């Protein structure tokens, strides 16, 4: 949709608003999924310290990649 709008020379302001809305939606989704993962996996009482550390390392790697 955005690529088509750019190709058609649509108003840049409208395109920027769409991009901002998409970014907001993605950030909200990331927040929800991250919270669920942290609560389910890192908050679990039945995992070992090694498993918890691996989960933490995985989340840190994902966050670093996401925030680049």
Is pLDDT at 58 greater than 90 in this prediction?
yes
Q: How far apart are CA 12 and CA 20, in angstroms?
A: 12
Q: How far apart are CA 53 and CA 10, in angstroms?
A: 49
Count structural domains, the chain.
1
Q: How far apart are CA 20 and CA 26, in angstroms?
A: 10
Instruction: Say what the pLDDT of residue 1 is.
Output: 84
pLDDT per residue as tens digits for the range 17-57: 999 999 999 999 999 999 999 999 888 889 999 999 999 99
DSSP 48-62: -HHHHHHHHHHHHHH
CATH number at residue 7: 1.20.58.1000
Structural domain containing residue 11 = 2-66
Q: What is the pTM of this model?
A: 0.72
Instruction: Say what the pLDDT of residue 18 is.
Output: 93
Evaluate whether 2 touches 19 at the Cβ level (below 8 Å): yes
pLDDT per residue as tens digits for the range 1-12: 889 988 999 999
By three-state DSSP, how is residue 28 classified?
helix
């Amino acid at each position: 949709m955005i690529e088509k709008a750019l190709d058609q020379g649509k108003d840049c302001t409208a395109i920027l608003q769409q991009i901002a809305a998409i970014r907001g939606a993605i950030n909200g989704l990331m927040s929800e999924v991250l919270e669920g993962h942290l609560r389910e996996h890192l908050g679990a009482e039945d995992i070992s310290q090694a498993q918890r550390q691996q989960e933490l390392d995985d989340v840190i790697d994902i966050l670093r990649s996401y925030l680049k």
